[in-house]
Structure 1
Amino acid sequence: MSLLIAGSIATDHLMTFQGKFADSLVVEQLDKLSVSFLVDDLEIRRGGVAPNMCFGLAMLGLRPVLVGAAGEDFRDYRSWLERHGVDCDSVRISQSLHTARFVCTTDTTMAQFASFYPGAMSEAREIELAPIVERVGEPDYVLIGADDPDGMLRHTQECRDRGYRFIADPSQQLAFGEGALIRSLVDGAEMLFSNEYESHLITEKTGWSAEEVLARVGTQVTTLGADGVRVTQRGEQPIEVSAARGVEALEPTGVGDAFRAGFLAAFAWGVGLERAAQVGCVLAAYVVETVGTQEYSFEPAGFVARVRSSYGDAAADEVAAHLPGLS
């Protein structure tokens, strides 16, 4: 299956302050605020929804095409992704802007000072899908994830105009987007991804009922956190899959992206929606047990063992038939 994964490309710069920000703030002087904090460490993590999903897809044997905008500083990140099997030849490199960046300092009370720099992400609106399709061939699906809103709209409309089947995954943009934007991103999608809170945002902001949303998309996949996932289709009974067993949660960032990667990989194998949700939940377990969105690894046999312990022998045997090194 050919998958184009469009979305944000970013890096996270995370620092820890071994004190309390509140001890350095004078409430009466906040209009003259000028403070600095000596931090103990700096972690630079790879991120962005599109590379996170591409990494997971590649780990399961697919070669996804990354679609997004980054800066000249993307070189090392690109090398990392390409070493793991991601096609990065269609990433737009800005001539003037850095790759999007999240910079955050956290104190001992978990209070944070943070900034987000969109940078090159704003140039996603300049990306046309047709030349990418000409290079890699007609895609089975184009996933349109959280990114520059104008870029998301452009990709969605181009998919409609050219007949590319698309998957809507607006995620973080739902909190900021207005109803017209969200309706444009969702209507006509072959598949809609969201978590449970985001599904309520979609109905609230679009003015559509849950039934009306489902009437406009082929399949709706709603993640439920520790309760697993629900998959709904028009005229069908919902499919509910529990989360993977034996998970030792450490850090949740990127878990949703990993679920989507696992789901889409299994969907590409043709194993059905329930099995796809199970594979998504197992891949998500690896991420939640790791600090960093792309720092996990596994052997195919170990992955199958986790599927077996969570969902039984039939699921494990079916997944094993598709994993590289086991088929």
Structure 2
Amino acid sequence: MLNMGGPSTVSETHDFLRNLFSDGDLIPLPFQSVLAPWIARRRAPQIEEQYAAIGGGSPIFRWTEAQGDGLSALLDELHPQTAPHKSYIAFRYARPLADEAARRMKEDGVKRAIAFSQYPQYSCSTTGSSLNDVYRKSRAGHFSGIRWSVIDRWSTHAGFIEAVSQNIEAALQKFPEEKRGEVVLLFSAHSLPMSVVNRGDPYVLEVSATVAAVMDRLGHANPYRLAWQSQVGPSAWLGPQTRNALKGLARLGKMRVVLVPIAFTSDHIETLYELDLEYGKEARELGMEVHRAESLNASPVFIRALADIVEQHLKESAAGSPPTSVQMGLRCPGCSNATCAHQKSFFARGGDA
């Protein structure tokens, strides 16, 4: 289960930030090996305060572990011919990192594995970065002897869409019945640098497809917009920023909003601090009534969706489907990262096992 991860304790924040800013797939920086540690040191005190404010660390490991346990138990029932199933977490920037997952898999004698991205929508800076990391660790011998396949995206899977829609409907119930039709649904996803978008990254298209599928499920009963959060640094990023979108809605007299995290599958700092404490506070100061749709976390509908995604993948694999999707094989038109090419070739042949 591949994801960016987050520091489980405040003391892990600096290492998390250093790993994050060192990743050129996510945040391309000039002189990255020098700038990344410097930025991490400067930002750590502020980010440590934010993690302290949400309970002393990110809950993303706890939720991912629960999702993986639930997924594995369901798979044992749904697809007994490949049982027993076991999930391993490989975070990109926080423990457990990919090498730790590799160690545990080796101890368990794993010979067949699925690299399952926990980002519903594909981006080279998220899923691509995690797959590049697994590829590099494989070349270094950490994942030797494993036959791989990949689930790289699932942005419009019916179970995922249903889980998100149910949480939006629950948030709408917090508004007076006669006002619910006026409530704006403001979908919020992690932003990307425009340099990534402009080279042809599919993330914007896939997030938009998720939003469209959710609105179809909800019957287009409410007005909606898509905004972007978590911009870092002075370079141009995809907009509008969620904070600015809320201010703009207030200026237009749209004072009731449901905030919907649409690219995050469990709570972490972007939902618990940025959306809830930071943007929510600013919106209330503007006189707005804002409620956030709950993250998917331990939603049984969502965990069943994860199991269905893997079950279908296993069935297709047994029927002779290639280890990776057609879409995963296509590099961005503006890609100049040689590692992406090597990684795609590696997984397309099922690894080196």
TM above 0.5: no
Q: TM-score, normalised by structure 2?
A: 0.26
Q: Which one has the bigger strand percentage?
A: 1
Q: Which one has the bigger helix percentage?
A: 2
> RCO higher in 1 or 2 (8 Å CA, sep ≥ 6)?
2
Q: TM-score, normalised by structure 1?
A: 0.28
